A = this chain, B = another copy of it.
Amino acid sequence: MKKVVKFGGSSLASAEQFKKVGAIISADESRVYVVPSAPGKRFPEDTKVTDMLLHVYETAKAGEDITEEMKAIKARYDEIITGLALKDFSLDKDFEEITKKLVENPQVDYAASRGEFLNGKIMAAYLGVEFIDAAEVIFFNAEGNLNSYKTEKVLSERLSKAPRAVVPGFYGLGKDGNVKTFSRGGSDVTGSIVAQASQADVYENWTDVSGFLVADPRIVPNPKPIKYITYRELRELSYMGASVLHEDAIFPVRNCGIPINIRNTNVPEDPGTWIVESTCQKQDYVVTGIAGKKDFCTIFISKAMMNSEIGFGRKVLQAFEENEISFEHMPSGIDTMTIVVHEDEFMHKEQRVVSAIHRLAKPDSVEIESGLALIAVVGRGMKSASGTAGKLFSALAKDGINIKMIDQGSSELNIIIGVRNKDFEPAIRAIYDTFIVDKKKN
């Protein structure tokens, strides 16, 4: 059993947090490779070290003195080093070198990446394991994307010689020989790459929450965590606005079937969320997650006998394509069809689209409405549980929520409904209450 453990910024913001991390790692022999983030906020008003470094970069680029700013950053690390009582360890030399580089040739990616680099050094010293600079084992191609082939080759060879190691997250080496950071997903991506290269059994992603939540906590108070979620469900919830792992952080491990376990550093006894390819685990709820987005527009098109007119739908969609607008859904009735699009993409082009529809498809009428919210109710359990739709729509009706659109049938994994923007939060709460709170009735 081999595990890669990635820790987020809040898990490594202070010596106290470092100790929790140390306890987590030493509690399980199989946690062999550690991917740390840069120190995050210690308290709400605190500044993340990465943001401090980005500010240093701006100062250096403006040709101003960075001494004081670098001192403040060093103080953050020294606080951790002192708190951990690390003997014979200092970052003095590293700070000297970083300061020198930033003054001589300020580079934004280099600056941003030093938070992870330095935190990795502390972590390696604290754990007494080898430190592997990500710039030596993770490579980008000329287009700025991960060079998976070279990275996997070099990284897996390097790890095969290091039974235990720390690899700082967030960066690697660019094609031009300079340090380069990941544009999105940050250290999550590094953890995923290390898990893949080391052929780990599990990729543990330690954060400050006990896994993903069934619904947005800003809408539903104290939503339940999700125990098991498939990649597919994750993708659907993420697409519909849930804040979960970025695609780029999932791809490397998904490709080789390594499950991801989202855990809480502050409550390590919580099992967290397992992200898996597929699972037979009994679910507590039929619904895995609820997510949604506001601000869609609908374009309602009617034309007598449209259903039997070959090419009608194609012509309508062409009007959107000509204006470079992607559409979300296209529910159709008898002689009617509705196109659902993002309001911000559509608004400034609406009249051009309407006239294109008239020119291409010659409809009887076209009507536009804004302020639609889409909600996806996602769950692999919905496939087998009959009555999900009935329960869902009864719940919304009970709360007086008018359903503007229903789209189901393309995937047995979700039902997508449209409601007015103002009904968005009440609808999510009603769905949550029905499927999660009133579980007995399920």
Instruction: Across the interface, name the chain B residue whose C-beta is closest to A418.
Output: B409
The closest CB in chain B to the CB of A328 belongs to: B307
| A336 → B minimal CB distance (Å) | 4
Expressed in whole angstroms, the Cα–Cα distance for A404 and B410 within the complex equals: 9
Q: Tell me the nearest residue of chain B to A384, going by C-beta.
A: B402
Chain B, residue nearest A323 (CB): B310
Chain B residue numbers with a CB within 8 Å of A418 are 409
Q: How large is the interface on A (under 10, 10 to 19, 20 to 34, 35 or more residues)?
A: 35 or more
Q: How far is the CA of A386 from the CA of B400 in the complex (A)?
A: 7
- List CB contacts (< 8 Å) of A400-422 with chain B: 400-411, 413-416, 418
Partner of A313, one of B330, B386, B389, B397: B330
A150 to B390, CA, bound (A): 55
A414: which B residues are within 8 A, CB to CB?
Answer: 333-334
Which residues of B lie under 8 Å from residue A325 when comparing CB positions?
310
Question: Is A394 in contact with chain B by the CB < 8 A criterion?
Answer: yes
A337 to B328, CA, bound (A): 10
Tell me the interface secondary structure of chain A in the complex: mixed
Instruction: Note all chain B residues with C-beta closer than 8 A to A351.
Output: none
Decide if B405 touches A409 in the complex (CB within 8 Å). yes
A324 to B310, CA, bound (A): 6
> Who on chain B is nearest to A338 by CB?
B410
Distance of A321 from chain B, by nearest CB (Å): 4
Q: How far is the CA of A213 from the CA of B326 in the complex (A)?
A: 42
The 7 closest A-B pairs by CB, nearest first: A405-B409, A387-B397, A390-B394, A390-B393, A333-B411, A389-B393, A333-B410
A residues near B (Cβ < 8 Å) are 235-236, 239-240, 298, 300, 307-314, 317-318, 320-321, 324-338, 376, 386-398, 400-411, 413-416, 418
